[in-house]
Amino acid sequence: MSLFLRNLFFTIIHPGVVAGLIPYLILRKENFDLIYKPFSLFQYVGCIFTLSGLTILIYCIASLAVRGKGTLSPIDPTKKLVITGLYRFSRNPMYVGVILILTGESLFFMSIELLAYDAAVLILFNAFIMLHEEPRLKKDFGDDYLHYCKKVRRWI
């Protein structure tokens, strides 16, 4: 399967489920009436967060495909270490993008349930990064990754 199709598939599966399907299921249909009413300040700010997160996510997926020759999925990882672009400022900008999307959704729908889900996802992301991703990257990229870790923080 081509790299583009693999990235599209894993984008739907990973961030699509985490930032799309699960929030939709949490909100339930009755909360979507807000879309048809005049927006409040919270909704405008939520849109800014969501669009910012979506932009970051798309940029990172493209960077992993073009520069890293792989996908965002741990089962189809990059072949090269990506340390340019947004990866110069954060070792995990894609996760930051997903958290921004979730925070934006929480603000837009003014949902405490979504905000709690957002916090849980952040905790799970952090655990996954520390327990799985970082050890794999150390194994795959060795000293290059360790040097990168000294220069760039895990989050921001």
Has residue 127 been placed in a domain?
A: yes
Residue 32: the pLDDT is 75
75 located within any domain? yes
Residue 87 belongs to some domain of the structure: yes
Q: What pLDDT, on the 0 to 100 scale, is given for residue 28? A: 82
Task: Give the mean pLDDT per block of 10 residues along the chain (156 residues).
Answer: 84 93 88 82 97 97 94 89 97 97 96 97 97 96 97 95
pLDDT at 51: 98
**Which two three-digit tokens encode residue 15?**
């961030």
Look at residue 87 in the predicted model and tell me its pLDDT: 97
Q: How many CB atoms lie within 10 A of CB 100?
A: 22
Q: How many domains does the chain have?
A: 1
For residue 76, what pLDDT is reported? Answer: 87
Range of 131's domain?
3-31+38-151
Please check whether residue 156 lies inside any domain of the structure: no
Report pLDDT for 1: 59
Ramachandran angles phi, psi of 55, nearest 5°: -60, -45
